[in-house]
Amino acid sequence: MEGIGWDWLKYIDRDLVLQFSPNLGKAEQLASNIWLTVGDYWRPGEILDEKITGPIDEQELLRYLQSGELV
């Protein structure tokens, strides 16, 4: 929404805005994490900071171990 900002939310039904907002927050967080990952901008240890990434599912992380890698 370059140049428009979030003013467009003032012109749509409030119930839609309330439904849209939580998903927007989740999408922004995911996009930010993807950008940081792709750009290799994470500082050491930061990728596992739940204040930044949100809840971490340890079982999900274990699926990404390469063969021969240990925790």
What local confidence, expressed as pLDDT, does residue 61 receive? 81
What local confidence, expressed as pLDDT, does residue 15 receive? 93
What 55-60 contacts at long range (C-beta under 8 Å, 24+ apart), as own/partner pairs, is none
Other C-beta atoms closer than 10 Å to the C-beta of 29 total: 13
Q: What angle do CA 64, 67, 71 make, to 5 degrees?
A: 60
Q: Which of 52, 50, 29, 51 is nearest to 21 (CA)?
A: 29
What local confidence, expressed as pLDDT, does residue 13 receive? 92
Q: What is the pLDDT along the chain (71 residues), one digit of tens a residue?
A: 466 777 888 888 999 989 888 888 888 888 888 887 788 877 777 767 777 777 888 888 888 888 888 87
